[in-house]
Amino acid sequence: MGINPIEYKPWKKKRGDHKKRFLSISSNVFRTNLKSKAVLGIIIIGLLLTLVIPLLGAVLTPHEKLTKDMAVGVEEDREDDLETFGNFYINGDMNIEGSLSLQGMLTLDGNVFGTGMYTSANGITSETGLNVSGALDINGTAFLDGELTGTGTIYGFGFIEGKGNLSGDWSGEATVFDNITEDIQRIRDDREMDNPDSSPDQKDGQTTNPVDDDGTVPPGSPPPYPPPEYRMNLTGDLGTEGDLLVDGEISINGSFYVNGYLSLRGSVEGTIFFDNHNMLAQYGELTMAGSVMVDGEAGLMGMLQGEGIIIGTGFLNGTGNVSGSLSQEDITNIISMDCGDDDDDTSSEDSLFVEGSLTIEGDVLCAGDIGIDGSLYIDGVCVIMGNVTGSGSLEYKSTEMFHGEVYVMGAFDTNGTVVVDGSLNGAGMIMGTGNINGTGMVHGYFEPDEETYKEDEEIKTRLLEMESENEMSSYYSSQTSGFLRNELVVIFTLLLASIICADLISKDISNNSFVLYFSRSITTRDYISGKFIGAAVTLGLYTFIVPVVVALAIIGTQTGSDYSTSFVVLGLTVAGALITTVYFIPFGLMISSFTKRPSYAGVGIFMSFFVLIIISEIFRMFDKRWMLANPASILDFTYQLLFDRALPSQITGSMVAGILLTFLAIPLAILYINIHRKGVGR
C-alpha cells in the first residue's frame, strides 16, 4: 500500500449543543440493543406470554370502564395477615394478632400467643406447647410434645397428637394421647371379661353384624344396635394410630380419628373423624355395616365405602372420597340428614361438606348448604335450597331442572349466596333468587331453546345484574393482581434489564473506550444519562407496551361513557410503567460497572435481585419490614401507592418511597463514582 494521496480537509460546520450530546449515546445504545437477537427475542417472547391473554381478556370481557382494580387488582385486606406457602420455623415465641395461614409446616420451639387465628394445611409441631387465645385451625397434623393451653377454639380437619396435654376451656378436656389406644383396648377387654359367654353380636337380644377375623364386616348387614354398656363415652378427644375394632357404640363429644384399620358395626354418635389413608392402602375399603349417627362432624380423609347409612343432622366433611357402591338409598340418606329441617336453615348444622369427591348417581335434594372442596358430580335432579360454597367443582347433569349441562368450578348458588372462588361454567340454566359474587369466573353458553327462551333471557339478565352489583367483571375479578402487577412481567423486565444493562458499561471497560467518550465534551453525568436513557427506551419497548396496550384496549372496548375515570387510570398506568422501566436500570448499570465481562454482569444483575428476594422471603417471617428488601415487593408497593391502595401493616408509604429512592439513587451514586474513577481519575 502506497502513501495515500488524499489530503486532509477541514470541516467547518457548526456543532450542536453540549447538553444534548448524551442523546447520541442513548441513540447508540438503543440501536445496538435493537440489533441484539437476545434482547429482541426476550421482548417478543415476553410480549407473547404476557400481553396476549390480558389483551384478549380486555377485549372479550364486557366492562364499563377502565378501573383501578383492572390495573392493580382487587384490593386485599392484608392488615396483620400473613400467608405463606412454605414452611415456617420459629425459635422464639409467636404472637398472632391477625391471621396466620400456612400451607407448609409450622415448627415451633417457643409458644404461640395472641388473639388471632392460625390456619394450616399441614399442621404444627411444637416442643414447648401452644397457648391459643384466638383460634387454631389445623388441617394437617399437630405434633405436640408440650402442653396445649388457652381459651381459644381449635377446629379443622387435622390431628393433634403427641405426648403433651390438652387443656383449656374449649370442648375437650385434658387427654393424654398416649393412653388413648390403651383406653380403647381396656374398654374392649373389660367388656369381654364382663360377658365371657356372649359375643358382641348377640347382646340384649339384638343382633349386630358379625365381624370377620380381619375386622371387616360382610356387606348387607343390618344396622347394629349395640348394648348401652358397650358404649364408649369420651368427653375428650379420641385418636389411635393402630387398628380399631368397635363392636359396640361409640359416643364422642370430642373428636375421633383412626389412622389404621377401622371396622364399625356399632353406631357412632358425636363427632367422628376418619383418616383412613393407610387403611385404604392396606385393606382396600372401609366397611361400615352399622349406622353412623352424625350429630357433630364426620370427617373423611380416606375412602368411605360400604352399605351403611349415615344419618343425622351434622356435617359430613373431610378430604376423602365418598363413592363406589353406595346405593341411591344411601345417598338419599346421606343427603336426607340435611333435609331434616323444614326451615330454610342455612346454619352449618344442615350442611354437607365434602373435601374429597362425591359422586351421586341418584337425585339430590338438599335443604342445607353444600360445600365442595373436591368435586361433586350429580347426575340426577338437584334441588338445592341452601348455599353452595367452596373451591371445588360441581358437575351436574339433568334434563329436568337444568337444560343441558351445568359445570360448576368452585361455587354455585341457587337461593342463597354463592361465593365463587373458582369458576362457574355451564350451558344450562342457573335458577334462583340469590346473588353470585366472589372472585371466580362465571361464563358459559346460555343459548335457550324455544320453550325456555323467555326464562333464559331473564336469567341472563339477572346474571349480568349480579355481576354489575359487584362492580367488576367476572374476568377481572379473577385477575387479583391486575395487568400492571403481573409477576411474569416483572420477571421478564428483570431478565431484559439484566441483558440490556450487562454490557453497557462492562464493554466500555473491556474495550477501554471510556477515553473515547471523555476526551470529548462528554461529562460523567452525560455518559451515565446517555446509557440510562438508551437502556430505558429499549426496556420500555416491553414494559410500556404490556400495560398501556391492555389499558388502551380496555378503554377502546368499554361499554360505559365514563372516560375521565378511564383516562385517569391510564395515566396512572403510564406512570406505573415508567417506574417499572427505570426501576431496574440503575442497579443494572452499577453491576455492569463492576466488571469487564458482560456475562458476569448479566448474571450478577439477575442473581443480585434473586438473592435479595430470597433474603427478603426468609426474614419477612420475623419482621414484615424485610419485604422492603425485595425489589419486586418494592415495585408492587409502589404501584399500590400510585393507585392509592393500602400497604401491608408495618410498612408505610414513606418507607417504600425511601427504599425506592435509595434503590435508584445509591446505585447511580456508586455508578457515578465508578465511572468517574475509571474515566477521569487516571
Partner 1 sequence: MISSQNRDPSRISANGLTVRFGKVLALDHFTINIPRGIVGLLGPNSAGKSTFIKTMLGLVNPQSGEMLIDNVNPRTDITTVRDNIGYMPENDCLIDEMNPVELVSYMGRISGMEKNDSIQRTHEILDFVGLGEERYRKIGSYSTGMKQKAKLAQAIVHDPNILFLDEPTNGLDPQGRDEMLDLIKKIGKSGKTLLVSSHILHEIEQVSSYVIIINHGKLVKDGPTQELMNPDKTRFRLKIRGETSAIDRFLHSIETRVEVISRIDESNQLSLSIICGKGNSFLFASAREHGIQIRHFGPDTLTLEDVFVQTFQGGG
Nearest distance, CB of residue 532 and partner 1, angstroms? 15
Q: CA triplet 312, 313, 318: central angle to 5 degrees?
A: 85
The three state secondary structure string of 62-80 is CCCCCCHHHHHCCCCCCCC
177, 173, 171, 136: which is closest to 156 by C-alpha? 136
Nearest distance, CB of residue 535 and partner 1, angstroms? 17
The residue written with cell numbers 392484608 in the block is: 78
Q: Which residue type does 212 have?
A: D
DSSP assignment of 253-304 equals SS-EEESS-EEE-S-EEE-EEE--HHHHHHHS---B-SEEEESSEEEESSEE
Nearest distance, CB of residue 17 and partner 1, angstroms? 8
Query: Residue 390 forms beta bridges with which residues?
Result: 372
- Residue among 338 and 526 whose Cβ is closer to partner 1: 526
Q: Which three cell numbers stand for residue 353?
A: 361438606
- Residue among 16 and 220 whose Cβ is closer to partner 1: 16
Nearest distance, CB of residue 531 and partner 1, angstroms? 12
Q: Which residues fall within 8 angstroms of residue 611, CB to CB, at 6 or more apart?
A: none
Q: Which residues fall within 8 angstroms of residue 391, CB to CB, at 6 or more apart?
A: 372, 373, 410, 411, 421, 422
> Would you give the DSSP letter of residue 439?
S
Kind and range of the H or E element at 215? none
CB 235 within 8 A of CB 226: no
Alpha-carbon span 160 to 260, nearest angstrom: 16
Q: Which three cell numbers stand for residue 493?
A: 423486565
Nearest distance, CB of residue 540 and partner 1, angstroms? 22
- Residue among 18 and 163 whose Cβ is closer to partner 1: 18
Nearest distance, CB of residue 21 and partner 1, angstroms? 5
Nearest distance, CB of residue 538 and partner 1, angstroms? 16
- Residue among 375 and 529 whose Cβ is closer to partner 1: 529
Nearest distance, CB of residue 22 and partner 1, angstroms? 8
Nearest distance, CB of residue 32 and partner 1, angstroms? 8
Nearest distance, CB of residue 494 and partner 1, angstroms? 25
Alpha-carbon span 300 to 357, nearest angstrom: 11
Residues that bind partner 1 (CB under 8 A): 1, 3-4, 6-13, 15-18, 21, 24-25, 27-28, 32, 507-508, 511-523, 679-682
Q: Which residues fall within 8 angstroms of residue 22, CB to CB, at 6 or more apart?
A: 522, 525, 526, 527, 529, 530, 533
206, 244, 264, 267 from 194: Cα distances, Å: 18, 20, 21, 21
- Residue among 315 and 517 whose Cβ is closer to partner 1: 517
CB 115 within 8 A of CB 151: no
Query: Rounded to the nearest 5°, which phi and psi values hold at 338?
Result: -85, -15
Nearest distance, CB of residue 672 and partner 1, angstroms? 15
- Residue among 16 and 196 whose Cβ is closer to partner 1: 16
**DSSP3 helix / strand / coil % (the chain, rounded to 5):** 40, 20, 40
- Residue among 294 and 533 whose Cβ is closer to partner 1: 533
- Residue among 477 and 595 whose Cβ is closer to partner 1: 595
Nearest distance, CB of residue 585 and partner 1, angstroms? 20
Q: Which residues fall within 8 angstroms of residue 468, CB to CB, at 6 or more apart?
A: none
> Would you give the DSSP letter of residue 145?
S
Q: CA triplet 439, 440, 445: central angle to 5 degrees?
A: 140
Nearest distance, CB of residue 419 and partner 1, angstroms? 59
Kindly tell me the sign of the dihedral angle through the C-alpha atoms of 480, 485, 488, 489: positive
- Residue among 44 and 516 whose Cβ is closer to partner 1: 516
- Residue among 28 and 282 whose Cβ is closer to partner 1: 28
By CB atoms closer than 10 A (0-12, 13-18, 19+), residue 675 is: buried
- Residue among 11 and 85 whose Cβ is closer to partner 1: 11
- Residue among 24 and 181 whose Cβ is closer to partner 1: 24
Nearest distance, CB of residue 534 and partner 1, angstroms? 12
The residue written with cell numbers 419482621 in the block is: 623
Query: Rounded to the nearest 5°, which phi and psi values hold at 133?
Result: -95, -20
Nearest distance, CB of residue 524 and partner 1, angstroms? 11
Nearest distance, CB of residue 117 and partner 1, angstroms? 60
- Residue among 460 and 596 whose Cβ is closer to partner 1: 596
- Residue among 4 and 91 whose Cβ is closer to partner 1: 4
- Residue among 304 and 601 whose Cβ is closer to partner 1: 601
- Residue among 418 and 522 whose Cβ is closer to partner 1: 522
Question: Residues of 79-117 as b/e, b for ≥16 C-beta within 10 angstroms?
Answer: eebbeeeeebebeeebebebbbbbbbbbbbebbbbbebb
CB 160 within 8 A of CB 166: yes
- Residue among 512 and 599 whose Cβ is closer to partner 1: 512
User: Where are the alpha helices (H) located in 474-562, listed in sequence order?
Assistant: 474-478, 487-511, 514-518, 524-543, 545-556
Kindly tell me the sign of the dihedral angle through the C-alpha atoms of 408, 84, 158, 217: positive
Nearest distance, CB of residue 601 and partner 1, angstroms? 15
